Amino acid sequence: MSVNIVYTIGYEGIDLEQFINIIKKNHIDTIIDVRKNPVSRKKGFSKSILNKILFENGIKYKHIEELGTPKDLREKLYRTKDFIMFINEYEKMLQSNMSLLEELLNEIHQENCCLLCYEKNYSKCHRSILAWNIKKMDGNGLIIKHL
């Protein structure tokens, strides 16, 4: 099976039940958590409980810390509000993780994967930059679908 879509989702503004419903409706096989620190004040979205709940719903969970935004870069974005700088710095970081991106692309081609972060607005989140870079690597028309 060759899948040609990478999904992304931010859980800001939705509860766990809504999140699970969206994931199931879109036939997601694996959630790829791309938060640097997979903890949340929001009930059900910290790594261990989220992994358990997804497993109970027949969905796999994988956390890739290396694809999260480093704390110093998050702080710099917060201070400067310079999203162009953020994109450039995050893309440089991705270039040093090419083997990880290749593994992720292979996984995306095998099953329906969804990149998870907190931010509701994908255009303000590193997951959209990550998805775009995976699409560029693919070169075969990978579709990005933000849920």
- Number of folded domains in the chain? 1
Q: Find the CATH number of the domain harbouring 36.
A: 3.40.1010
Given a cut of 60, whether residue 53 has pLDDT beyond it is yes
Q: What proportion of the chain, given as a percentage, has pLDDT over 90?
A: 86
The pLDDT tens digits for 71-99 are 999 899 889 999 999 989 999 999 998 99
Given a cut of 90, whether residue 5 has pLDDT beyond it is yes
Mean of the per-residue pLDDT values of the chain:
93
The Cα-based distances of 71 to 8, 87, 100, 103, 132 in angstroms read 21, 15, 20, 24, 22
The pLDDT tens digits for 121-142 are 998 899 999 999 999 999 878 9
Q: Which residues form the domain of 24?
A: 5-146
